[in-house]
Structure formats: C-alpha cells, structure tokens
Amino acid sequence: MKREITLNINDRDETLVVDDAETLLEVLRDRLKLWSVRESCGVGACGSCTVLLDGRPVSACLLLAVRSTGRDITTLEGLGDGQLLHPIQEAFVSERALQCAYCTPGFVLSVKALLDEIPNPSDDEIREYLSGNLCRCAGYADILRAVHLAREKISRAPVKPE
Amino acid sequence: MTIRSFELLQPRSLPEAVEMLREHGDDARPLGGGTTLVILMKQRAVHYPFLVDLQTIPGLNGIGQESDGLRIGALASHRMVELSPVVRRLLPVVAEAFGHIGNVRVRETASVGGNLAHADYRLDPPPPLLVLGADIGAVGPNGSRRISLKNFFRGMYETALEPSEILVDVKIPAPPADSKAVYLRYSTLSANDWPCLGVAALLTKENGRCKELRLALGGVAPTPLLIDGLEFTRDQSLDDGVVDKVLQKVEEQISPSSDLRGSEWYKRRMARLFVQKAIAQLNGDQG
Amino acid sequence: MHLGLTLFEEMVFEDGQLVNGSLLDYQVATIKDMPRSFRSVVVEVPHADGPFGAKGAGETGALTVAPAVANAIEDAVGVRIRDLPITPEKVLRALAEKDGATLPRDSSL
Ligand SMILES: Cc1cc2nc3c(=O)[nH]c(=O)nc-3n(C[C@H](O)[C@H](O)[C@H](O)COP(=O)(O)OP(=O)(O)OC[C@H]3O[C@@H](n4cnc5c(N)ncnc54)[C@H](O)[C@@H]3O)c2cc1C
Ligand code: FES
Ligand code: FES
C-alpha cells in the first residue's frame, strides 16, 4: 500500500509518498539521494546503512520507512554543519581511518552514538559497540585510534548549543 | 533486495490487533522489530499481504518488577533489556544474554517477543529464560493465557502460539534464594557471530551441597532444550562422578545437527565441555 | 589483513549451491577479532624482475598471516592444519586423530 508520510531527517521535514514495503534505506538513498547511507549486506550485519534514530544506531536496511515517522533520523549529512567537519570526521581523517571509505559513514555515526552513550569508553567498550560495523579494508586499528582522538576532541570542545 | 508490496496495518489496541490477525488468517503476521521478518521478506522466503504492526499498540514495552518476579513486555527491545537497571540487578544473566545478540543496531530494533516467537534453535535468550522458569503471556481470539517457556518451543521455528495469538510479555520468577546462574555462549566464527551453542545453568546450594541444578542448551536440538531428569543431583556434592551423570543426561537429550558452525560430533564435544564449565563456574563461585 | 581468510572465511557449497552467501553466515573479521596489538616488521628482499628491485605493495604482506597462525598452532599443540580457514573444530579433530581416534566425517566441513 502507498501512503504519504513525513520523516524528520537531519532536522528537516520531508513529506513523500512511500510504499509500506519500502525500507528506510531505499527511501533515504534512492529517493532523497542521501548517498552516505549505503547498502552492502542488506541483513543487518555490516553497518554500512547505519543511521541514528532518536540518536540510537540502527540498520536502515531492516527498517520500514513508514515506521520511522515521528522519530529524528540522522544521516552522516546531518552530522557536520555543511562547512566544517564534525570532530569525529576530523579524527577519522587525521588517523587515516579509511581506505575505500565505503564503511566510513556507518562507522562515524556508530562512534557518535557510542560517545553520546559512553563518553569515555575503554578499548573493550569500543570494540564491543563497533563489532557490527565491518570494514573490509580492515583499518580497525586506525579506527580504534580515531575513536580515542574523537573522544579527546569532543571533551576539549566548548559546549555549543545544538 | 526489495520487498513485495504488502499492507501494514497499525492497530491502536491489542483486541484490535488480534481481530486484524483473525480476519486475515494466513495472509497476516504480527510485526515486532522486524529484524527477522524484513530479511525473510526481502529474500522472498515468505510473503504476507498484511503485517500487523505491534509497535503502534501502547504499553507493550514496559519492564518492571512485580511481586512474583520480573515482567518484560514483548515489544521491549533487546537493548532495553540489556541496559535495564532492574534486569541487571535482579537477573544479570538475562541482561547478558540479550546483550550478546548480533550487534548493537539489531539489539536496538529487535523485540523480546519477536525473538521468542521466531523460535530459532540457536537463539541466545531461551536457555537462561528456561533455567529461570520463565513463562510467556499470549492474547488471542479466545482470550489470554500463560504458557511455560518449556512447553513453548515445539519444533524448528515452531511455537505453541495459535494463529492470531500475540505474545505480550515474558515473566521471570524471582530465582531461588542462594542460587546463581550463568549463560555461556560459544561461537566458532567471528566474535559477534550467532552462537554455535549456548549453555545456561542455575545452581541452588544448601550447606555446600547441590539443592537443585537446572541446565538448558541452545543450538544442539531443533528447539532450545531444558534438560530433564537432573533431580538426582539433590543433596549431592557436585563431584566428578555426579557431573559425569549430568553429562550423560545431556548427551541423551541433545540431538545436534551439523551446520556451518560445527559438525554433530563437534557440537556434542562442545556441549559436554561447556556444561562442565558452567557447573564448575557456579560450583566454584559459591565455594 | 588476511585474518578473516585464515580463521573464518569459506564459501560453502552443497550440491553446487552456495549455502552461506550472506554476511549472516559468511563471517568476516570484526574489530573485536583484531589482535590487541599489531607490530609490523619489514623484511626487505629486492624483487629480481622489478624495476630497481620493486614489487607490489599491499597484498604481498597479507600472505604471511595464515602461515603465522598455522605455525603458532603447531608450536602450541603439535598439529599442523593445512587448509583454510583454520577453525577450532579442525584443530580439535586433528588432535583427536593424532591420539588415534577415528572420527565421523562430515559433509558440511
Ligand atoms: C545481523 C543479525 C544477527 C543476529 N544475531 C543473533 C544472535 O547472535 N543471537 C540471537 O539470539 N539472535 C540473533 N539474531 C536474531 C534476532 O535476535 C532476531 O532477529 C530478533 O530477536 C527478532 O525480533 P524482532 O522483534 O525483530 O522480530 P520480527 O522480525 O518482528 O518477528 C519475528 C517472528 O516473530 C513473529 N512475532 C514478532 N513479534 C511477535 C509477537 N509479539 N507475538 C507473536 N509473534 C510475533 C513475527 O511474525 C515473525 O514470525 C540476529 C539477527 C540479525 C539480523
Ligand atoms: S546493509 Fe544494512 S547492515 Fe548491512
Ligand atoms: S575503508 Fe574500505 S571498507 Fe572500510
């Protein structure tokens, strides 16, 4: 069945007609051209389609778009301010925590959720939280360093009103 | 991977949801978090013209302590159970089992009811819930009833739920005084793979001896399995001889089949090993 | 690098049909599988045919992980596993066979 829904994406309301059978991934990527949201496994296992739903990480490939109304959806595009990179992105750049970068948006958003939930995570907590984000170029050691750097950058940053 | 068109029905109450399921019969299925059903529909392994959205029914995701134990609403997410202060305090083994599932995104989305109703033989939560003596509440066209978890799993992906019945909660009685429980999960592939097998044990002790031992295993039979016939351990000290007899009971009752995560031979070996480990851990813990 | 192929990765076929063709079943290494510390040692051996002795970068070095793991296992428990992935079951079978046991073979392995 088709219906008109309004989704709040990166603090903007988007009204569109979707089929009940469409996943949030299909809507974000194919309709709204938010290219940071990527499909790889399609079964919740890889994290390349990670988005934040009310600040919590989820696999957009497993969610029906019509069930995401009334929630705050954040994709990587909503993380920086359009000009400057977010401290987590900066940390990924300076630690060279990417090669092909296919996995990077999913990792950055998962790190955002992790640091919001556990501001000072141990290595084990980071590994546990990120174990569902796969990186085939296997920059895991660099990613681990990037998380620590991001944590430092965020704790040093002056608190900005959202 | 795209899903064939269907209609998502969004009831506002349980009776409305039950009525929708009854009206559409085999053409409808309840939808919890969707982490299993969405994949099956994408793979076109199943198709239902109607899905009944349980998330639009208020009040099904609460977690709370009641006079006779802990009640977890069917729509509570795995993550809510994993992080819930009351579950962690009263039944840490349950929080741990839910916390081991897949990855953090799946745990945010998947529901407790969907996990149990899916009835996969390898699921993590059933073994600890079985040793704790949990039961589930179901609501259907003929009213509501409680089903003990030990009678709930009927076969591979088969449960005691009637068509149009909805699982509404899980109740876990307070564990016996002086008891301890563990859940050991073993995966043979990557660190967050599905388990090859899981072993839960609950041991109650009295004067340094065993008062009651309960064991349940996942991954080694068509359904999660509560081991029968362990009454002989009562008033025994759990020495090698007694543990050997326990292992014999386990071996008689499991019927593992070979899959990607291990052959039957290997699973039998690992079942022995992890039952031994679980008992040793509980026994040692309490001196 | 190469850790997944050494420990988990295998395309399993039954009757010509791939049975683990999804990332739920075909497991690759996660950040949790990564060793706690990495140390790279560069062994410089010029390539006879390469310009100025150069050779391809990247995957050349990856080939060392499987022999390193196999050697470590042999060193620790005295069995040599010759096919990848090196699963815990293969090690246990090799140990049992070394002790003279005859084990049921299994098609899914
Ligand atoms: C990447 C990945 C990794 C995983 N790893 C693990 C793991 O390591 N261990 C583990 O235990 N599990 C694992 N799982 C399985 C996961 O636990 C299940 O997918 C999840 O519990 C299903 O819950 P759900 O709410 O999403 O169910 P749904 O997909 O909504 O439903 C599943 C089934 O239950 C029925 N159903 C749902 N809710 C109800 C209800 N209240 N009453 C009656 N019927 C209902 C549905 O009709 C459907 O048939 C994994 C899943 C994924 C995707
Ligand atoms: S594409 Fe969604 S988790 Fe892999
Ligand atoms: S950088 Fe290529 S997959 Fe991670």
Residues from chain A contacting residue C59 (CB–CB below 8 Å): none
ipTM: 0.95
What integer is the mean pLDDT of B29-58?
97
Q: How far apart are CA A110 and CA B80, in angstroms?
A: 18
Cα-only R_g, chain C: 18
pLDDT at residue C95, rounded to an integer? 96
Burial (CB count within 10 angstroms: exposed 0-12, middle 13-18, buried 19+), residue B59: exposed
Residues from chain B contacting residue A23 (CB–CB below 8 Å): 3, 38
Burial (CB count within 10 angstroms: exposed 0-12, middle 13-18, buried 19+), residue B199: buried
Residues from chain B contacting residue A63 (CB–CB below 8 Å): 34, 38, 109
CB hemisphere CA count around C12 (13 angstroms): 18
| B235-272 per-position pLDDT tens digit | 999 999 999 999 999 999 999 999 999 999 999 999 99
Band (pLDDT 50/70/90 cuts) for residue A121 is: very high
pLDDT at residue C100, rounded to an integer? 87
Under 8 Å CB-to-CB from C44, ≥6 apart: which residues? none
The residues spanned by each domain of chain C are: 2-35+57-98
| C46-89 per-position pLDDT tens digit | 888 889 888 877 677 778 889 999 999 999 999 999 999 999 99
DSSP string spanning B88-118? Answer: HHH-HHHHHHHHTSS-HHHHHH-BHHHHHHH
Q: Given C1, C22, C23, which is nearest A138 (Cβ)?
A: C1
Band (pLDDT 50/70/90 cuts) for residue A22 is: very high
Q: Which atom of ligand 1 is nearest to the CA of B51?
A: 47
Chains that touch A (3 or more CB pairs under 8 A): B, C
Does pLDDT of C109 surpass 90?
Answer: no
Could you say which DSSP state residue B7 is in?
E
| Probe residue for ligand 1, chosen from B52, B101, B157 as the CB with the greatest number of ligand atoms within 8 Å | B101
> What are residue B262's DSSP bridge partners?
B259
pLDDT at residue C106, rounded to an integer? 62
pLDDT at residue A158, rounded to an integer? 67
More confident residue, C18 or C42: C18
Distance from CA of A134 to the nearest CA of C (A): 6
Does pLDDT of A150 surpass 70?
Answer: yes
Query: What is the rounded average pLDDT for all residues in chain B?
Result: 96
What integer is the mean pLDDT of A7-14?
96
pLDDT at residue B186, rounded to an integer? 96
Residues of C designated catalytic:
59
| B85-122 per-position pLDDT tens digit | 999 999 999 999 999 999 999 999 999 999 999 999 99
Does pLDDT of A160 surpass 80?
Answer: no
φ and ψ of B195, to 5 deg: -70, 145
Enter the CATH code of domain C2-35+57-98: 3.30.365.10
Does pLDDT of A31 surpass 90?
Answer: yes
Q: Which of 37-96 (B) contact A at CB < 8 A? A: 38-39, 41-42, 51, 53, 55, 79
Among the ranges given (A138-142, B146-150, B172-176, B268-272), the one the predictor scored with the smallest mean pLDDT: A138-142
pLDDT at residue A39, rounded to an integer? 96
| Probe residue for ligand 3, chosen from A135, A140, A142 as the CB with the greatest number of ligand atoms within 8 Å | A135
Does pLDDT of B1 surpass 70?
Answer: no
Q: Are B159 and B116 in contact (CB under 8 A)?
A: yes
Which residue is associated with the tokens 């790889």? A40
Domains detected in chain B: 7-56 (3.30.43.10), 63-173 (3.30.465.10), 180-282 (3.30.390.50)
What integer is the mean pLDDT of B12-24?
98
CA of C24 from ligand 1 middle (Å) equals 14
Could you say which DSSP state residue B122 is in?
T
> Residue B49: how many CB atoms within 10 A of its CB?
14
Ligand 3 site residues (CB inside 6 A) read A 98-103, 135-137, 139
| A35-84 per-position pLDDT tens digit | 999 999 999 999 999 999 999 999 999 999 999 999 999 999 999 887 89
pLDDT at residue C50, rounded to an integer? 87
Among the ranges given (A45-59, A102-116, A128-142, C49-63), the one the predictor scored with the smallest mean pLDDT: C49-63
pTM: 0.94
Q: Are A60 and A105 in contact (CB under 8 A)?
A: no
Give the H/E segment covering residue C73.
Answer: helix C65-77
Under 8 Å CB-to-CB from C25, ≥6 apart: which residues? B260, C19
Q: Residue type at B150?
A: K
Q: Does A49 touch chain B (CB under 8 A)?
A: no
Residues from chain C contacting residue A131 (CB–CB below 8 Å): 30-32
Interface of C with B (CB under 8 A): 4, 7-8, 12, 19-20, 24-25, 27-30, 32-33, 87-89, 92-93, 103-104, 106-109
Burial (CB count within 10 angstroms: exposed 0-12, middle 13-18, buried 19+), residue A159: exposed
Domains detected in chain A: 2-78 (3.10.20.30), 87-156 (1.10.150.120)
Under 8 Å CB-to-CB from C74, ≥6 apart: which residues? C80
Could you say which DSSP state residue B162 is in?
P
- Distances B210 to A107, B133, B206 between C-alpha atoms, Å: 48, 18, 6
Among the ranges given (B130-134, B246-250, B271-275, B282-286), the one the predictor scored with the smallest mean pLDDT: B282-286
Six-digit token string for B27 = 């053409």
Does pLDDT of B286 surpass 60?
Answer: no
Which residue minimizes the CA distance to atom 4 of ligand 3?
A135
SS3 B56: helix
Q: Residue type at C93?
A: R
Q: Does B258 touch chain C (CB under 8 A)?
A: yes
Band (pLDDT 50/70/90 cuts) for residue C108 is: very low
Band (pLDDT 50/70/90 cuts) for residue A159 is: low
